[in-house]
Homo-oligomer: A and B are copies of this chain.
Amino acid sequence: LKTNFDCYPCFLRQALKAARLSGADEVQQYTVIQQTLALLQTLPLGLTPPEMAHQVYKLIREVLDTQDPYFETKKMNTRQALALYPHMKTLVQNSPDPLDMAIRLSIAGNIIDFAVIDEMNDLWQSVERLIQKPFAIDERNTFKQALQKAGYILYLSDNAGETVFDRVLIETLSVPVVYAVKSKPILNDAILSDALDAGLDTCARLMENGSQSLGTIMSLCSSEFRQHFEQAPLIIAKGQANYETLSEADKRIFCFLQAKCPVIAQDMDVPVGSVILRQCKN
């Protein structure tokens, strides 16, 4: 998925939101706006949105002089999701189809975005609404068939907090899981410490992908991760950025996401807010 013209105002909006969430004062916010305006003029067309976002968030880290502007946000989101963990386990255990419920929860967890979640009730209400929502693209059956043949799964994580929802799915799966996180902070994406906070080490082998980018930009990943990626019989890719950056022709990859932005929703021909489980293929 290439960057659409609609992504330009969205990047500017995200940059401002990110600066504010990081506690930037008015002067820093204005600096972020000005430098983002300048940056967006210099980036070539044809990049994917995560490739452009990589540059935008690098700029924000530099202006704010911090390596992890979302440190507090991520800690809080993980705490909030952990508080829901017992409820999620009960839902899965009481479900007539535990795997299906765990898949639904894992996609529902993709609602945790880098906005601050004010009310725990709101989050749980959103989750309850999302697990009942019909899938707009539904390749669960193909996924479940692939699952029966796979010796293990490579699981590409997305945001901190969403990690706890991933943990519920992984604990429900009967095959071993390698859980890949980013090596360095980018937005609110999970890094190793976030995965540990969410207890992923109790149910999966953790690995870093070598990059500090949204999604999976293969050229920025470590050779170790690339080797894992090439060998994995089955890959779960969480969230929009993984959908945007991964090959459209790799049938081992199943994207679990909510289509949160209009550009992606249009690319998939679904309404914004749709629940998606989609195999990568042409």
Contacts and interface: CB of A to CB of B under 8 A. Distances in A.
Main secondary structure of the interface of A (DSSP, over half): helix
A243 to B, nearest CB: 23
Contact of A34 (B10, B16, B33, B41): B41
A118 interface: no
A37 interface: yes
A233 B100 CA distance: 69
Contacts of A30: 5, 45
A29 B5 contact: yes
Nearest to A26: B5
Contact of A12 (B8, B34, B45): B8
Interface string A12-52: 11001000000000000110011001101100010000000
Nearest to A38: B41
Interface in A113-155: none
A97 interface: no
Contacts of A6: 13, 16
B5 A9 contact: no
A61 to B, nearest CB: 19
A27 to B, nearest CB: 11
Contacts of A41: 34, 37-38
A60 to B, nearest CB: 14
Interface string A89-124: 000000000000000000000000000000000000
A36 to B, nearest CB: 9
Q: Which of A6, A10, A12, A29 has the most CB of B within 10 A?
A: A12
Nearest to A33: B8
B12 A16 contact: no
B5 A16 contact: yes
A12 B33 CA distance: 12
Contacts of A13: 6, 9
A34 to B, nearest CB: 6
Contact of A9 (B16, B34, B38, B45): B16
A118 to B, nearest CB: 16
10 contacts: A5-B16, A5-B29, A6-B13, A8-B16, A8-B37, A9-B10, A9-B12, A30-B45, A37-B38, A37-B40
Given A8-B37, A37-B38, 5 more contacts: A5-B30, A5-B33, A6-B16, A8-B12, A37-B40
The 8 closest A-B pairs by CB, nearest first: A9-B13, A9-B12, A9-B9, A37-B41, A37-B37, A37-B40, A8-B33, A5-B29
